[in-house]
Structure 1
Amino acid sequence: MPDRPHPLSPRYWAVHLLAVALLAAAVMLGVWQLDAWKTKRAASALDVTTAAAIPLSKALGPDDPFPAKYVGQPVTVAGRWLPVSTFVVSGRERGKVEGYWVVTPVAVDGTKSAIPVVRGWTASAGARPQAPSGTVTLKGWLQPAEGTGEVDEDTSDDVLPQLRIADALHFVHQDLYGGYVIAAATDAGLEKAELDQLPPAPRFSAIRNLFYAVEWWFFGGFVVFMWWRWLVDEVLRRDEDDVEE
């Protein structure tokens, strides 16, 4: 009885290579569609930040909980600077350089509350420009207060590890809104601060790309299944039949 070829013998290489090629293509196409889904969702989220600015009062009231739908919403704020309440927030990177946010609250017109305004970014807390004073009308992006749980280890200075409203109250002698604003225009001597928090993408944004990714991976699984069935039926089972004979 002649010896039957091994499943990895050269006569079967073409089938194995075809299976590998189809599987690799399915995986890569699935990853590509998944990346497209993520990219489109990110772009959809960014759309909110380019919308027309609305008055702060239409998005957030002095005593309101922060509304999730207004994360990143452009708003206009009218009020009066509180320069003596200026503080900085550490651990803010810009271009892989760690620095600080410079924050000066604005007492909002028509209310008894103030909202922290991130005026910009600086690499050195000691080199920040003097805080402005007087009345102001500014545009910026609304952000929810941070709360990572990081503790301010030195309460004697004006440096905070995060922009948490409870911590910011140490510098302000009036109530604060439950969020803050990143100013669109920065002061001389400061660089633009980047948004840390973007709005969530719509639930069904680019869902078709996600389905395509799943379909490609399902096809890859089908390729593996068919390859295994061929291996069992055409190679391994024939070997067993030859042994029985």
Structure 2
Amino acid sequence: MLRTALKVRWIAFLLLVMGAAAAFAWLGQWQLERAIIASQPIDAESETIIPLVELQVPGIAPSEVASGHMTEVTGVLVPDSYTVLTGRLNYGEAGYWLVGRFLAEEGSLPIALGWAADEVTVLAVEDELNAAAEVEPAVVTGRFMPTEAPVVPEGDQGPFVESTLSVASLVNLWPDFTGPVYEGYLVADVAPSGLDVIESIPPMNEGSVNWLNIFYAVEWIVFAGFAFFIWWRLVKDAYERELEEKAQLEAK
């Protein structure tokens, strides 16, 4: 049978089968990759930085696409418009956020600038930022998040203590505030000196395994194996015919 398989006709057919099997294997790998991508929990598209002006409009609730999306915005931090938020977790540790009012061409945007474990550190950084107020516009990059609901301070806290980043509450604290404001805030990916970068969690997909893609991947692998089986079967049939013809000649 080996002599039959080594004939030019069957070697050429084997090369054709190998090409088809390689194509089937590639299609199977592609289907498997699609199934894996569909099961990934992180929304990869949200990690692509898009200018905020293209992502969100001031005064409108953030869309599902805008919420949690990485973005960039150009503007300046407004002096004396900082707010300290209490009870903010950063990698599981409670502490304080420093939030500033960022004035862009389209409107005002709250920015969560950084985190510290104690309030004294946050207040010291606030004083430094107020003393070194920048006039030239700067580009800030971070994750855009929807506004949080306001929370009434507990009994032992002062009336102006803030624990959530509520845009509706912040605009009442900003001095001389006018103009449009974004219904969300930015978690800056670079913190001022003295503060830690705030943990920024990407939005999560439901991440379910696409069994249909897996079925197709297995199907293409079966096709690749079946192509080799057809070649082997045809060679075997040709070999058996040769044996029959040889037996008939010897019988004569």
TM-score band, normalised by the shorter chain? 0.5 to 0.7
Which amino acid in 2 is paired with 1:167? Answer: S
Which amino acid in 2 is paired with 1:50? Answer: E
Which amino acid in 2 is paired with 1:121? Answer: W
Instruction: Using the TM superposition, give the Cα deviation of residue 48 of structure 1 relative to its aligned residue in structure 2, in angstroms.
Output: 3.6
Which amino acid in 2 is paired with 1:189? Answer: G
Which of 183, 188, 194 is the equivalent residue of 1:189? 194
In the alignment, the residues of structure 1 paired with residue 188 and residue 203 of structure 2 have an alpha-carbon distance, to the nearest angstrom, of 17
Cα distance per residue 1:167-200 (max 9 Å; x no partner): 111222134210000111111100010126x435
- Give the equivalent residue in structure 2 for 1:199: 203
Counterparts of residues 170-181 of structure 1 (less than 5 Å): 170-172=172-174, 173-174=177-178, 175-181=180-186
- Give the equivalent residue in structure 1 for 2:133: 133
Counterparts of residues 107-122 of structure 1 (less than 5 Å): 107-109=103-105, 111=106, 113-122=107-116
Q: TM-score, normalised by structure 1?
A: 0.59
In the alignment, the residues of structure 1 paired with residue 187 and residue 89 of structure 2 have an alpha-carbon distance, to the nearest angstrom, of 15
Instruction: Using the TM superposition, give the Cα deviation of residue 80 of structure 1 relative to its aligned residue in structure 2, in angstroms.
Output: 1.5
In the alignment, the residues of structure 2 paired with residue 184 and residue 139 of structure 1 have an alpha-carbon distance, to the nearest angstrom, of 6
In the alignment, the residues of structure 2 paired with residue 93 and residue 139 of structure 1 have an alpha-carbon distance, to the nearest angstrom, of 21
Counterparts of residues 35-50 of structure 1 (less than 5 Å): 40-43=39-42, 45=43, 47-50=44-47
- Give the equivalent residue in structure 1 for 2:69: 73
In the alignment, the residues of structure 2 paired with residue 101 and residue 151 of structure 1 have an alpha-carbon distance, to the nearest angstrom, of 18
1:150 aligned to 2:151?
yes
Instruction: Using the TM superposition, give the Cα deviation of residue 79 of structure 1 relative to its aligned residue in structure 2, in angstroms.
Output: 0.9
Secondary structure, aligned partner of 2:210: helix
Instruction: Using the TM superposition, give the Cα deviation of residue 115 of structure 1 relative to its aligned residue in structure 2, in angstroms.
Output: 0.3
Give yes or no for contact 1:48–1:199 (8 Å, CA) kept in 2. no
- Give the equivalent residue in structure 2 for 1:218: none
In the alignment, the residues of structure 1 paired with residue 60 and residue 147 of structure 2 have an alpha-carbon distance, to the nearest angstrom, of 12
Give yes or no for contact 2:115–2:198 (8 Å, CA) kept in 1. yes
Instruction: Using the TM superposition, give the Cα deviation of residue 122 of structure 1 relative to its aligned residue in structure 2, in angstroms.
Output: 0.9
Question: Residues 155 and 137 from structure 1, CA distance in 2 versus in 1: closer, same or farther, beyond 3 angstroms?
Answer: farther
Cα distance per residue 1:81-137 (max 9 Å; x no partner): 11211002222122432101111111112x3x2000111111112212132622321
Corresponding pairs, count: 166
Which of 67, 91, 97 is the equivalent residue of 2:93? 97
1:167 aligned to 2:169?
yes
Question: Residues 208 and 96 from structure 1, CA distance in 2 versus in 1: closer, same or farther, beyond 3 angstroms?
Answer: same
Q: TM-score, normalised by structure 2?
A: 0.58
In the alignment, the residues of structure 2 paired with residue 81 and residue 125 of structure 1 have an alpha-carbon distance, to the nearest angstrom, of 20
Give yes or no for contact 1:70–1:199 (8 Å, CA) kept in 2. no
Gaps of 5+ in 1: 1-36, 213-245
Cα distance per residue 1:38-89 (max 9 Å; x no partner): x94423x3x24422x1111111111222111122211111111112110022
